[in-house]
Structure 1
Amino acid sequence: MNKNILPTLFVIGSIFTIPLSAANFFHKLMPSKMSNQFKDLHPAKQAKQQGIKYTNFSGNWSGNCVIGNFPAIPMDFTIENDAEYFSIDDEEFSIGALHTQGTSGGENNEAAFDHQVFEWNQDMSKLTLKGMSFEKYSDTKFNTTEAILTQMTLSLNNEKLIMEGQVIGFVDLEPQTQNVSCAFTKK
């Protein structure tokens, strides 16, 4: 395989994507009527307008998560939420809005960029986290690039918080898919 193909594809991709994102090109393609129509369908907005009940996940939770065939991971955390807001261990999210954060530097010159959104199902009984992250580890031990896609659904079942979903990771473009299953009880 030609060694110059990847750098060439990167440069060509940058030529097209940088100007498009800077000009908000794709937002111009969506008529304002259509954009407003989607905003009006958000369950949290309907709940506020119509007094519809939502699932309240608020509380101090303790339990375990199992990812694939790995040993269970014990976890303790605090959730606060209402129809439009979700907070886990003081990290705050507006439900339905894209939450983006990035970090770089540190001792090992690591970098990470994350996008996350929480969305209600139609009857507001379940809350789904959809996320994407891109991470680069530059130390000599790992020196990997990872892209991770996540979808996790939170629900209450017999006073237990259940989180189930899937994580698809690409470590240097090698795909790895793991199912995630968690159960928590209130402290």
Structure 2
Amino acid sequence: MLSALNRVISNKGSPGVDGMKIDELRDHIKKHWNTIRAKLLEARYNASHVRRVEIPKPDGGVRLLGIPTVQDRLIQQAIAQVLSKIYESSFSDNSFGFSPRRGAKDAITKSKEYINQGNRWVVDMYLFITFCFRTFILIFTAITIFTFIDANSSFISRFCFFVLEGFFYRMHKCSNLYLCYSTYFISILN
């Protein structure tokens, strides 16, 4: 939890529906940790609602953001850190877009290696594939989690459903398949 706490604090971000700021999180956790921990262990923890924010786009549309409370971000980050150890080992060595430890610079370095080996084609499948793949990965992850965890009593299952519920709300409302939680709970995929 300490690692997750440090990560959430370093990410900064806006308050959720409860108005708690990032710089208040450490003291809040110290004061309320026993209660939060008990709820987690007894599968009684319920995530708060997500604060919805509309960000204007240059083309006149809006980008909807869902901002969880900082306490929920902490719990999401802790879950993501555990699950990422499981999922990351199954990612392809040639996948650079969905791992917290790999990115565009790594993809460019690998492309240069391939070119130096005599290969002459580099294919960049970014926008459309990214949106579709994020949707697929989210659903695949949820199915995997629900397969291994009792969906009726598990905190993680209920938390995953909460995340999915926010995602499908966005999908329906915006017809936009980008997941607003990608930097939080689903950071294992991003």
Would you say same fold, with TM above 0.5?
no
The higher relative CO (CA closer than 8 Å, separation ≥ 6) is in 2
Q: Which has the larger radius of gyration?
A: 1
TM-score, length basis structure 1: 0.25
In terms of fraction of residues, the more helix-rich structure is 2
TM-score by length of 2: 0.25
